[in-house]
Every structure is written in structure tokens, then in C-alpha cells.
Amino acid sequence: MKLRWYSIVIDCHNVAAQARWWADVLDWRLIFEADDEAVIIPNDMPADLDMEEPVPAHRWHHVPPGLVFVPVPEGKTVKNRLHIDLAPHLEDDRDAQIQWLIDAGARRVDVGQDGSEVTWTVLADPEGNEFCVLSSRDR
């Protein structure tokens, strides 16, 4: 028996704004939006996977996960127990990408790294959900 990693669900207050922010950050596309849910998927996901037709089993397990945004009434009060790691390619300017994220509404946060010599930068999205920008890599 195999299960497919289908999605990551992100609690938020403004479903539409969060979905669009993350779609911009990841260069993904919004495929569903309602008051109580928004869904984004990778741009390179085959177009036929957006349709109503069932996905054959041999392709099902190779479809990447999406991000789903749902509303919650409470505010965020503690550090995330699960977070997203982003990684730039070796040919990309990591510092410029971090600055772009900050200019787009992210902010630097300290979750215990205390300025130590780490190879990642911890940021928070516009609603405070932490994520990391890792060191540049090519695999």
C-alpha cells in the first residue's frame, strides 16, 4: 500500500492573500479559491491534472503536493512544528532572493538560531508562518 503526499495545509486569516503570496513566492498557480479554502500547485504540473478526469495510478504517485490555505479564527502564538524549506540554485543570488521575500512581505524571525553560524535563514510569511531559505544547492 502506498500513500501520496497530497498537500500541506496552512492555517491563516486571509486565505486569498496567503495563497497569492505563496503562489508568487513559489511561481505556482492558484487553481481553486473560495471563502474557506484556496489551493495552489506547481506551474509545471501537467494541465490535464487540473481537469475533472481521474489521474491514472501510475501517475498518481508522481504528482507533487500542493498547498492548501484554510481560515482559522485564532492567531498564531508559537513557533510552527512543521515548516517549509526553500532552496535557491547555486546559480541564483540567495541574498537577493531573501531580500525579494522581505520586500514582498516576509520578515526575519528568530526561532532559536540566535545568530549562530547556521546555513539557513528563518523568515515568516505575512501571517507569521515560519519558513527557511537554505543554502544554495544544485540537488
**CATH number, position 66:** 3.30.720.120
Domain extent for 125: 84-133
- Assess if residue 90 is contained within a domain: yes
- Assess if residue 139 is contained within a domain: no
The confidence score (pLDDT) of residue 52 equals 66
- Assess if residue 77 is contained within a domain: no
What whole-number distance in Å separates Cα of residue 29 and Cα of residue 21? 11
Q: What pTM, to 2 d.p., does this model score?
A: 0.88
pLDDT, tens digit, 9 for 90 and up, residues 100-130: 999 999 999 988 876 668 889 999 999 999 9
Q: What is the DSSP string of 46-90?
A: -GGGGSSSPPPHHHHTTSPPEEEEEE-SSPP-S--SS-EEE--BT
**11, 67: one domain:** yes
pLDDT, tens digit, 9 for 90 and up, residues 5-22: 899 999 999 999 999 999
**26, 56: one domain:** yes
